[in-house]
Amino acid sequence: MLQRMLGITTLLVLVPLYGQASAPSQTYMPQIIAESAPQVAALYEYMTSASVSKERSQNLLSQAEVIFADTEELDLPAVIVATLAMQYANEFEPHKVEQLYDNTKQQLRHYFLLRHYFFSCILPGRAKFDASIDAIRISQGAPQGFYDALLRFNQHEAKRDQGLVKIAQQKYGKVTPLTLYHALLYLELKQLTIKDGRIVALLLRNMALAHNQQRQYERELIVIRVIRELEIEGLLPVISSPRSVYSYLMVEAR
């Protein structure tokens, strides 16, 4: 099951982020990675310095395993890089990737937030969406209602919420299922007491990718627009270029 899911993730996540399987000769170190632990930056640099091979895949998984094992230093940027390494290595070492997934899931069973970070990064589609919302809730100390409102969005119920209808009409010009979802996401995040904007910014990008993987492209665009809105309002840090919210991990020529 994990192999089928990782195959989906590789197609819809790594291709938009990296463009092609072979990394360009010159890359830059994203700020969120440069500010992480040295072993995280080293893994990212190794991962993006050349094309993946069987030998390099084994090295990627070994480094990722070390990062996952250090739960005291493990944070969301570290989980992002380590899970990307797993996706890179999956072509050549699918069984070892499966084993690392199972071992990490078991290892993090008592680390509730880290486990949600892991699932948010490694799982695709609906599972990624659910884990990302819950990770935002847990990391920012939000009430359960935050998770329930976004997970159980119902356009028919939303139409009866005069507050949402008013925001959709005034802010987005019309009342449709999409603008109601836009209004709900914007309102829930505005009401959130954000303790770490970088974490919320990263998890929202995982939410956008989750919509992409389910081919919900209009909803993906809504999440991207909300990210930009909250950046402009100063509620979220700017961690990517104006060109793409996904550029925070993009490998490109200088």
**Range 67-86 average pLDDT:** 95
pLDDT score, position 151 = 87
**Alpha helix segments (H runs only) across 73-216:** 76-89, 94-107, 112-122, 125-140, 144-151, 155-158, 162-172, 177-191, 197-213
Check residues 249 and 213 and name the one with the higher pLDDT. Answer: 213
Q: How many helices (H) and strands (E) does the chain have?
A: 15, 0
pLDDT per position as a tens digit, 13-72: 333 332 333 343 345 678 888 889 999 999 999 988 888 889 999 999 999 999 999 999
pLDDT per position as a tens digit, 104-123: 999 999 999 999 999 999 99
pLDDT score, position 169 = 92
How would you write 227-246 as a 3-class SS string? HHHHHHCCCCCCCCCCCCHH
Using DSSP, state whether 108 is helix, strand or coil: coil
For 130, phi then psi, to 5°, come to -60, -50
Check residues 148 and 242 and name the one with the higher pLDDT. Answer: 148
C-beta separation of 41 from 34 below 8 A: yes
pLDDT score, position 24 = 37
Going by the DSSP 8-state scheme, the letter that residue 74 receives in this structure is -
pLDDT score, position 246 = 82
Residue 226 has pLDDT above 90, yes or no: yes
Check residues 217 and 29 and name the one with the higher pLDDT. Answer: 217
Check residues 26 and 212 and name the one with the higher pLDDT. Answer: 212
C-beta separation of 82 from 68 below 8 A: yes
Domain boundaries, the chain: 2-142+192-249
- Percent residues over pLDDT 90 in the chain: 70
Per-chain mean pLDDT for the chain: 86
pLDDT score, position 21 = 33
Instruction: Give the whole-angstrom CA distance, residue 200 versus residue 118.
Output: 15
- Cα–Cα distances in angstroms (integers) from residue 135 to residues 31, 88, 156, 205, in the given order: 22, 24, 27, 12
pLDDT score, position 30 = 81
pLDDT per position as a tens digit, 144-158: 999 999 988 887 787
Going by the DSSP 8-state scheme, the letter that residue 50 receives in this structure is S
pLDDT score, position 79 = 97
**Range 199-219 average pLDDT:** 96
**Range 168-174 average pLDDT:** 92
For 177, phi then psi, to 5°, come to -55, -35
Give the model's confidence band at 5: pLDDT under 50 very low, under 70 low, under 90 confident, else very high.
Answer: low
Using DSSP, state whether 234 is helix, strand or coil: coil
